[in-house]
Structure 1
Amino acid sequence: MKPICPGNPLDRYSSRREFLHVGLLGGLGLTLPQFFSQKAQAAQKFYELREGVAQGIIHIFLPGGIAHQESFDPKPYAPAEYRGPFGAINTKIPGVQFGERLPELAQMADKMTIIRSMSHGEAAHERGTHNMFTGYRPSPALEYPSYGSVISHEMGSKNNLPPYVCVPSVPNEFAGSGYLSSAYGPFALGSDPANGNFQVRDLNLPNGCDEFRFSRRRSLLETVDSHFRALEKSDAIDAMDAFYQHAYKLISSEKAREAFNLKAEPDALKDEYGRNEAGQRMLLARRLIEAGTRFVSLTVGGWDHHDNIKGAFEGQMPSVDKAIATLIRDLDRRGMLDSTLVMVTTEFGRTPKINPTGGRDHWPSVFSVVMAGGGFKQGYVHGSSDALGGGVDTDGVTVEDLSTTIYNQIGITSDKELMAPGGRPIEIVDGGQVLDALLAKKA
């Protein structure tokens, strides 16, 4: 048989499993890791969801634990060893200040909800990160799914796009599908949008395999599927087929592929975001949400500043400050801010007192996160830390509360039970309540 595409391994492999893995993926040049995993065992589902305010979420995670004192909760009247190396600047919210290295975000504060009273009990990076990606404390007995995977499971894809995308790569082990099928895991780009030659892997057909041959290969796969389905009579085969359909739709849809095309954005807007990792990652995130992706997760920088917090902030914060502010402004200009939730989080805060090496150490007792759009109030500060930034003073917010509120805004009821391995029902969030104080009143 003449190969349909170059390097067709069908001549060499006879088992269905080998055909699927090597014949389809190898011949087409596809990997589509995690999102289209062969290990997925759950069939495509259709869900009845109540309408949410937010149609998409952009999760900007600042890994390492950004200091709240130098960012969203400065302490200008504290002693110098607590206050830190920077002053504070006024924001668009009367009487509210940010750290002086956040001038752009200070001018966008009237579009934000700033939560200054987040806390949890996990001082280790891995455990704190787990909390902020899943809404659960870590457990040795169960691997919990991330926000993006739950949203992918509950809402499915839109406009042939992956519902959950990580920019540029899966940031940590807790950003995956947990006890859910790996089919609900993230689609990772494999390349950074800040690269001048940025191109998403897997979205183009390899040289020598045109659309006609691609369609013929799909027909061949369906023929082989039917043969092995008759032999194996496995429900898992039907489940796998659904995910290959996703792959075909993404590759064959010009509109879906175009969502990843940063070249379509005007140079002036690229400059406004910043031609760097922070700016281009956030610009692509906006483009994906605009096209129909449900949840985009991205990370920027490293904020584990045990030493020289002054130099670290001066080096990293300008591009991040500019990029986040531009993202919020761009969404607002396009009329997308009300329907898009931007959330800026980190795994924990930093110690109230500067240490001997000019840094701050891990501190989960209180820290700050920021929400913009998606039905959250604009120009609102929720809760407070104490005078030295060492603990919650008023209106404490737990990870469960925040998770429940986030799911509420996209239309998911957080106490719904999903099935873990063995048929064990697990609530999407265990406890927590919708924080109505954070939400704008409906017109």
Structure 2
Amino acid sequence: MRCHGNPFSRRGFLAAGALGGLGLSLPELLMRQAMAEQKNYDFVKARAKSVIHIYLPGGMAQQESFDPKPYSPLEYRGELRPIKTKTGEHFCETVPQLAKRNDKFSVIRSMTHGEAAHERGTHNMFTGYKPSPALRYPSFGSVVSHEYGPRNNLPPYVCIPNVPNEFAGTGYLPSSYGGFALGSDPARSDFKVRDLDLAGGVTDERFMRRKAALEIVNNKFVSSTGADNVGAMNTFYERAYSLLDTPQAKEAFDIGKEDAKMRDRYGRHDAGQRLLMARRLVEAGTRLVTLTYGSWDMHTNITTGFRSQMPKLDQGLSALIDDLSSRGLLDETLVMVSSEFGRTPKVNKDAGRDHWPKVFSVMLAGGGIKGGVIHGASDSTAAEPEEDAVSPADLATTMYRLMGIVADKELMAPGDRPIEIVDGGKLIKPLMV
């Protein structure tokens, strides 16, 4: 969405000369063009007000989830059976509840990149960039926090239960755009979000006196230094005060206020309660929630691993889709389920699958995504993309556009280097409403 006119062309100089006669110089003209370009960025229509990014660390197998290969030999297809979805596609038997709801979400079966190491694959799927030794890129949540800031006094970027990895951070952006971590699992009976209550014996009046005194000290200290961590800490304090001063914002973190039957629908386990907490937060105003569930690095006994872990995710994710839909929130909330890569086409000697970044699956729902679409395809053994390959940059570009952010907008890295939010990604238009 950039202005591509050349201000140094003959027409540009003629325009500058004409405007100069009216008192507008060439530098002022160029400044106005830059401002117009920025306005173009700002007026991209947002379909999604929030994102719930469900990350499955370790590398979830495409064959045992959304891309079974029922007609390939046993050593490729594995032991688990395919089942038909509501729209007639095939998923693996591990996701029976999601199969009944696949008209409400879409699956990309042709995700691909070249990074077979966990850390490098994770970097791709949290930033949209290949790892670089020269620069640390910001995560999706930090970019969204930078572009939009808080809403309803809630942190714009929240991690459940903790910041999941080093690539979920701010990268080259100031650390004030980091994620707010709950610090505890919502599934725990003693769950409590840290730092959301006044210390024992501190009244509201005493708190306000402390706050006023601290502001005087902080303002003096911040004005005397340009250090990022000092400014970030001041920002964190201000946001913490906003939370403490806003009962409605604090209540979003209190999962105990949720109806008991709804908690049961999601499942009284780590997957279900993390997903329920994510719904509470986006409904209250958080812009991007990242949550993790499970360990999908199944080099051994993959059938047992999926039968153990996937039922909780199937239950909780199905409940999330139903819940968002019934509340009228699905159209404005993008749900994204991803992992750092997939698993090898062939089952190994230990009845597991190894790392495989060449092709894997991602699920998307709501927030401007069509339902019931299978985008792209892997080949007969889930070894390579057969059609419509999708890169992490494409996925990131599409996610940002749905949120109203133009992915090739330039942010400033250290040394005043302009860096595009995503470099070279394409919109996945067949998935977009």
Range of TM-score over shorter length: 0.7 to 0.9
Q: Tell me: CA distance 1:226–1:346, structure 2 relative to 1, closer, same or farther (3 Å).
A: closer
Matched, 1:177 2:170: yes
Residue of 186, 189, 203 corresponding to 1:193: 186
Matched, 1:320 2:313: yes
Residue of 376, 380, 394 corresponding to 2:373: 380
CA distance in 1, matches of 2:209, 2:110: 57
1:35 matched residue in structure 2: none
Secondary structure class of the residue paired with 1:222: helix
Identity rate, percent: 58
Amino acid at match of 2:210: R
Residue of 53, 68, 86 corresponding to 1:59: 53
CA distance in 2, matches of 1:424, 1:74: 45
Residue of 299, 324, 330 corresponding to 1:337: 330
1:282 matched residue in structure 2: 275
Unmatched segments (≥5 aa) in structure 2: 1-40
Shift of residue 48, structure 1, vs aligned partner: 4.5
Secondary structure class of the residue paired with 1:199: coil
1:6 matched residue in structure 2: none
Amino acid at match of 2:351: G
1:69 matched residue in structure 2: 63
Shift of residue 243, structure 1, vs aligned partner: 3.9
Secondary structure class of the residue paired with 2:110: strand
1:354 matched residue in structure 2: 347
Amino acid at match of 1:55: K
Residue of 146, 150, 160 corresponding to 1:153: 146
Shift of residue 426, structure 1, vs aligned partner: 0.4
Deviations 1:58-98 (A, max 9, x none): 0001111111001000000111100101010000112x110
1:291 matched residue in structure 2: 284
Deviations 1:168-210 (A, max 9, x none): 0011000000110110010000110000111100000000111
CA distance in 2, matches of 1:253, 1:226: 23
CA distance in 2, matches of 1:397, 1:318: 28
CA distance in 1, matches of 2:219, 2:345: 64
1:110 matched residue in structure 2: 103
Q: Is the 8 A contact 2:341 2:356 kept in 1?
A: yes
Amino acid at match of 1:341: L
CA distance in 2, matches of 1:235, 1:316: 44
Secondary structure class of the residue paired with 2:121: helix
1:254 matched residue in structure 2: 247
Matched, 1:85 2:79: yes
Shift of residue 223, structure 1, vs aligned partner: 2.9
CA distance in 1, matches of 2:231, 2:374: 49
CA distance in 2, matches of 1:142, 1:282: 32
Q: Tell me: CA distance 1:256–1:75, structure 2 relative to 1, closer, same or farther (3 Å).
A: same
Q: Tell me: CA distance 1:310–1:243, structure 2 relative to 1, closer, same or farther (3 Å).
A: closer
Secondary structure class of the residue paired with 1:323: helix
CA distance in 1, matches of 2:124, 2:208: 44
Secondary structure class of the residue paired with 1:342: strand
Matched, 1:430 2:408: no
Deviations 1:232-258 (A, max 9, x none): 376977775444322210122111100
CA distance in 1, matches of 2:294, 2:219: 48
2:364 matched residue in structure 1: 371
Amino acid at match of 1:59: H
Secondary structure class of the residue paired with 2:166: coil
1:101 matched residue in structure 2: 94
CA distance in 2, matches of 1:388, 1:165: 38
Matched, 1:221 2:214: yes
Q: Is the 8 A contact 2:243 2:250 kept in 1?
A: yes
Matched, 1:402 2:419: no
CA distance in 1, matches of 2:400, 2:274: 24
Shift of residue 260, structure 1, vs aligned partner: 0.3
2:36 matched residue in structure 1: none
Shift of residue 51, structure 1, vs aligned partner: 3.6
Secondary structure class of the residue paired with 2:386: strand
Secondary structure class of the residue paired with 2:59: coil
2:198 matched residue in structure 1: 205
Residue of 242, 245, 253 corresponding to 2:238: 245
Amino acid at match of 1:383: G
Deviations 1:106-156 (A, max 9, x none): 011110111000000000000000000000000011011000000000010
TM-score by length of 1: 0.86
CA distance in 1, matches of 2:257, 2:231: 37
Secondary structure class of the residue paired with 1:195: coil
Matched, 1:121 2:108: no
Unmatched segments (≥5 aa) in structure 1: 1-46
Secondary structure class of the residue paired with 1:203: coil
Amino acid at match of 2:54: I
Matched, 1:143 2:144: no
TM-score by length of 2: 0.88
CA RMSD of aligned residues (A): 1.6
Secondary structure class of the residue paired with 2:107: strand
Amino acid at match of 1:334: R
Amino acid at match of 1:73: D
1:267 matched residue in structure 2: 260
CA distance in 1, matches of 2:132, 2:344: 26
Q: Tell me: CA distance 1:354–1:206, structure 2 relative to 1, closer, same or farther (3 Å).
A: same
CA distance in 1, matches of 2:382, 2:405: 34
Q: Tell me: CA distance 1:227–1:393, structure 2 relative to 1, closer, same or farther (3 Å).
A: closer
CA distance in 2, matches of 1:50, 1:126: 33
Q: Is the 8 A contact 2:42 2:405 kept in 1?
A: no
Deviations 1:329-373 (A, max 9, x none): 110011100000000000111110110110001111100000000
